[in-house]
Amino acid sequence: MVPTQKIILWPYVLLLTFSAVVCAGPRDGRLDIYWVDMEGGAGTLIVTPAGESILIDTGNPGVRDPDRIVRVLSRQAGLRKIDYLIVTHYHLDHYGGAATLSQMVPIGTLYDNGLADDMPEPAPENSYLELACDHRRIIQPGDRLPLRQSDREGSSEVSLVCLGTRRDYVEAPANSAGENNVCSNHKPKDRDGSDNARSVVALLKYGAFEFFDGGDLTWNEEYRLVCPHNLAGTVDVYQVTHHGLDSSNNPVVLQSLQPAVAIMNNGATKGCMPEVFANLTETKSLQAIYQVHKNLRPDGTVNNAPDEYIANKQDAGHCHGNYIHLSVDPSGNAYTVAIPATGHRRTFQSK
């Protein structure tokens, strides 16, 4: 954006954040995750018990998606800065909103895959490469975000670690169990040569609670993540990879991670593919599947969770932009998933 646009946007956001902070109460020691509606893109906002913000991906180019992120950040979380931004890979529905977002709120440290000669697709646009932030870091497998811990009594430890990126993964711990016994179920698919396969894979922990975000990691790379050794362990919440497209969401991942809740950042006509939905519903550990959007594909390949578990039921032209909110108890032993726009709430126990 040109400087004149920056001048217009900053007062607008500061007004939003000021009003939100005035209304916000004291920190409650909870970990919060928001799936902001990017209408088929990705934008997952995490707010730690110490009040730091982590954003994984920024949605599509334009103002709509960054504006939705800022509204959740300021009005729901009462914050005025993105402390850590992780861009999982260089597709526009994941990094496209970053440059505009940087004009709307300050960004602390940006983690991404950097640039390399062997990149499978063109480099991201200059507006992204030149966006304003305090620091830029090339993320590596095993990297942990330097998160502050809450000083609230009874609050659990929070951490976010990169399990893999650029087709490279952390090593299995020396004391890990034997080989994963579900690996024999793997059925390879055609290799995906796009940047999806280079996605950052993140694991968030808060006490006993664990959340998995694999970006758009593709089928055969997912297999490498859990075979021969399961590098992610078991988790409570699984962000359905790649918006629910069937070039991802390998059943061996679902069988290895054994999530209780799956949350899909799909669009009205993007993602939530029949094969993926079937694999999810056949996963014995799953207690609930949430969707940011109801599947309204006109080709008849329609499958959906019950309406109660869907944030947006309208087509793209009439979308309300509702978000899904997950809040983890300070002990880390329980978490509640809510769709504030509809009043839905359900509480689950951490593993």
Is residue 39, in this structure, part of any structural domain at all? no
Mean pLDDT of 295-299: 92
270 pLDDT more than 90 = yes
Which residues make beta-bridge pairs with 289?
262
- Token pair of 299 as six digits: 């080709």
Is residue 21, in this structure, part of any structural domain at all? no
Residue 22 pLDDT: 34
- CA-to-CA dists, residue 262 to 213, 252, 275, angstroms: 11, 15, 15
Which residues in 60-85 are b (16+ Cβ under 10 Å) and which e?
bbebbbbbbbbbbbbebbbbbebbbb
What rounded mean pLDDT belongs to the chain? 92
pLDDT digits (tens, 9 = 90+) for 237-251: 999 999 999 999 999
Residue 229 pLDDT: 95
Answer yes or no: are the C-beta atoms of 56 and 42 closer than 8 Å: yes
Local confidence band at 318 (pLDDT 50, 70, 90 cut-offs) = confident
Is residue 149, in this structure, part of any structural domain at all? yes
Quote the number of domains for the chain: 1
Mean pLDDT of 115-124: 94
Residue 27 pLDDT: 65
Is residue 317, in this structure, part of any structural domain at all? yes
Mean pLDDT of 68-89: 97
Answer yes or no: are the C-beta atoms of 94 and 200 closer than 8 Å: no
Is residue 242, in this structure, part of any structural domain at all? yes
Is residue 29, in this structure, part of any structural domain at all? no
Local confidence band at 10 (pLDDT 50, 70, 90 cut-offs) = very low
User: What is the extent of the structural domain holding 240?
Assistant: 83-92+112-341
pTM: 0.92
Is residue 100, in this structure, part of any structural domain at all? no
Mean pLDDT of 155-162: 96
Is residue 59, in this structure, part of any structural domain at all? no
